[in-house]
């Protein structure tokens, strides 16, 4: 099968409905299009390409915040697929979820770890994917302001210069939080900055506030930032959700490889959810650049089983449905999508049954409360 001609950047952005986010998207890396989709007489792919919606840092390079990052750091997927002769390749994207969408659209990835909004936008634009596993759910958001800022509450952001990494899974909970405080994005002078950009802008006071992740804690520790808001211990509707998805064409052509990868990912989630491994998990994540103390602070008082739960339970399904509706309402996606048809739990259920983990992780209701509590 010959490789398809890559889409132009303009065509791609139009197709994904991301033309307004062009500044957030770098050029995609030089991958080999369709290497895993090449004509093959066997049931196993030659290579499985996994895209991660964050850069890899440290030595050796690693990423953080999910059970899949633990599997990557320990080489578990590579080890599992080695007997069948299938290589596992990882690709990391500074441009986060929107940049992953570019590679998926050009059929340069088979699996991807990204947040809800970029995947919703791509699905609404016609990208054929299936959500097969949750990971890194309920991640907190933070709002940082200069230490001497007069701003005291979220509602005080009206008319201020505020940064937000648009098109990522930070986008919707931020809009949800603003709406709860009587604001819309139109009430702010909103700037689209990635993590490095908003940290620098906060330091130089080129912005009045930044809506971001726990990276803001670095500046707080230096006395350069005050935390105006954190979703920690607040309603989980203001947290960020992430997942692993598979390209539909790959899953159809290689169902056994898809099943195995999901099972290996569930095994990694089980290991990383064990409180006996908390130190190992947090210190592994710290290798990616965020200090161990910040991971410890962010996860303090919260079981690993909550944040590393691979299940699409009623809470998470409702979050994706709400996110899909919000994305359409805020004109971030071009169409409504059927979340129930998008989430494919067949591989996950098979893995949970095979491993005897059907009841290992807590099940949460749509309101964020544990079922039966």
Q: Has residue 369 been placed in a domain?
A: no
CB neighbour list of residue 46: distance below 8 Å, 6 or more residues apart? 35, 36, 38, 40, 85, 86, 87
Q: Verify that 294 and 187 share a domain, yes or no.
A: no
pLDDT at 58: 78
Give 203-237 pLDDT, tens digit per residue.
999 999 999 999 999 999 999 999 999 999 888 88
Q: Has residue 361 been placed in a domain?
A: no
Instruction: Give CA–CA dist 109/49, Å, rounded.
Output: 5
| Percent of the chain whose predicted confidence (pLDDT) is above 70 | 88
Instruction: Give CA–CA dist 207/56, Å, rounded.
Output: 27
Q: Verify that 180 and 47 share a domain, yes or no.
A: no
Mean pLDDT for the stretch of residues 159-184: 93
Is pLDDT at 23 greater than 50 in this prediction?
A: no
CB neighbour list of residue 36: distance below 8 Å, 6 or more residues apart? 45, 46, 47, 48, 49, 110, 250, 254
Is pLDDT at 16 greater than 50 in this prediction?
A: no
Average pLDDT, the chain: 88
- The whole domain housing 184 covers 142-238
- Torsion sign, CA atoms 289, 145, 232, 190: negative
pLDDT at 97: 86
Q: Verify that 292 and 245 share a domain, yes or no.
A: yes
pLDDT-derived band at 272 (thresholds 50, 70, 90) equals: very high
pLDDT at 369: 78
pLDDT at 1: 34
State the total domains in the chain.
Answer: 2
Q: Has residue 360 been placed in a domain?
A: no
**Cis preceding-peptide flag for 257 (omega within 30 of 0):** no
Q: Verify that 17 and 131 share a domain, yes or no.
A: yes
Q: Has residue 330 been placed in a domain?
A: yes
Q: Has residue 211 been placed in a domain?
A: yes
| Percent of the chain whose predicted confidence (pLDDT) is above 90 | 76
Is pLDDT at 3 greater than 70 in this prediction?
A: no
Q: Has residue 110 been placed in a domain?
A: yes
Is pLDDT at 271 greater than 90 in this prediction?
A: yes
pLDDT at 57: 87
pLDDT at 372: 62
Helix or strand run (H / E) with residue 227: strand 226-230
Q: Verify that 17 and 71 share a domain, yes or no.
A: yes
pLDDT at 34: 36
Give 69-127 pLDDT, tens digit per residue.
999 999 999 999 999 999 999 999 988 888 999 999 999 999 999 999 999 999 999 99
Is pLDDT at 19 greater than 50 in this prediction?
A: no
Is pLDDT at 18 greater than 50 in this prediction?
A: no
Q: Does residue 172 come out as left (phi exceeding 0), alpha (psi in the -120 to 50 range) or beta?
A: alpha
Q: Has residue 255 been placed in a domain?
A: yes
Is pLDDT at 17 greater than 70 in this prediction?
A: no
pLDDT-derived band at 25 (thresholds 50, 70, 90) equals: very low
Q: ∠100-299-349 over CA atoms, to 5°?
A: 60
Cα 155–chain centre separation: 27
Q: Has residue 126 been placed in a domain?
A: yes
Q: Verify that 329 and 287 share a domain, yes or no.
A: yes
* Beta strands across the sheet bearing 111-115: 87-92, 47-52, 111-115, 242-247, 129-134
**What CATH number is given to the structural domain containing 64?**
3.40.190.10
pLDDT at 128: 97
Specify the pTM: 0.85
Q: Verify that 333 and 258 share a domain, yes or no.
A: yes
Mean pLDDT for the stretch of residues 62-67: 94
Cα 162–chain centre separation: 22
pLDDT at 4: 37
Q: Verify that 20 and 130 share a domain, yes or no.
A: yes
pLDDT at 27: 39
pLDDT-derived band at 365 (thresholds 50, 70, 90) equals: confident
DSSP 39: -
Mean pLDDT for the stretch of residues 170-185: 93
Q: Verify that 130 and 279 share a domain, yes or no.
A: yes
Is pLDDT at 297 greater than 80 in this prediction?
A: yes
Structure tokens at 349: 């259920």
Highest mean pLDDT among 2-11, 23-32, 164-173: 164-173
pLDDT at 236: 86
Q: Verify that 209 and 256 share a domain, yes or no.
A: no
pLDDT at 35: 37
Q: Verify that 124 and 272 share a domain, yes or no.
A: yes
CB neighbour list of residue 254: distance below 8 Å, 6 or more residues apart? 36, 43, 44, 45
pLDDT at 143: 97
């Amino acid at each position: 099968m010959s490789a398809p001609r890559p889409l132009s950047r303009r065509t791609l952005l139009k197709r994904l409905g991301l033309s307004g986010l062009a500044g957030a998207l770098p050029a995609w890396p030089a991958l080999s299009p369709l290497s895993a989709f090449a004509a093959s007489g066997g049931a196993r792919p030659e290579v499985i390409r996994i895209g991660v919606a964050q850069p890899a840092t440290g030595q050796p390079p690693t990423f953080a915040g999910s059970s899949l990052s633990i599997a990557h750091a320990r080489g578990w997927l590579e080890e599992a697929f080695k007997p069948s002769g299938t290589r596992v390749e990882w690709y990391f994207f500074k441009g986060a979820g929107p940049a992953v969408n570019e590679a998926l659209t050009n059929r340069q990835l088979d699996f991807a770890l990204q947040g809800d909004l970029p995947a919703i936008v791509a699905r609404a634009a016609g990208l054929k994917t299936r959500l097969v596993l949750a990971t890194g759910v309920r991640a907190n958001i933070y709002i940082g302001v200069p230490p001497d800022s007069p701003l005291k509450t979220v509602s005080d952001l009206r008319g201020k210069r505020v940064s937000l990494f648009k098109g990522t899974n930070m986008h919707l909970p931020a809009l949800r939080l603003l709406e709860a405080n009587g604001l819309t994005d139109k009430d702010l002078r909103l700037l689209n900055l990635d993590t490095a950009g908003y940290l620098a802008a906060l330091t130089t006071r080129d912005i009045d506030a930044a809506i971001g992740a726990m990276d803001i804690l670095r500046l707080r520790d230096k006395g350069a930032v005050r935390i105006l808001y954190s979703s920690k211990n607040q309603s989980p509707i203001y947290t960020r959700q992430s997942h692993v998805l598979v390209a539909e064409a790959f899953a159809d052509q290689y169902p056994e490889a898809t099943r195995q990868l999901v099972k290996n990912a569930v095994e990694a989630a089980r290991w990383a959810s064990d409180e006996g491994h908390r130190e190992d998990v947090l210190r592994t994540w710290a290798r990616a650049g965020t200090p161990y103390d910040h991971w410890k602070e962010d996860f303090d008082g919260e079981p690993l089983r909550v944040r590393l739960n691979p299940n699409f339970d009623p809470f998470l399904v409702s979050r994706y449905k709400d996110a899909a509706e919000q994305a359409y309402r805020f004109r971030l996606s071009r169409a409504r999508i059927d979340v129930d048809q998008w989430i494919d739990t067949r591989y996950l259920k098979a893995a949970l049954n095979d491993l005897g983990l059907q009841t290992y992780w807590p099940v949460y209701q749509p309101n964020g409360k544990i079922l039966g509590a």
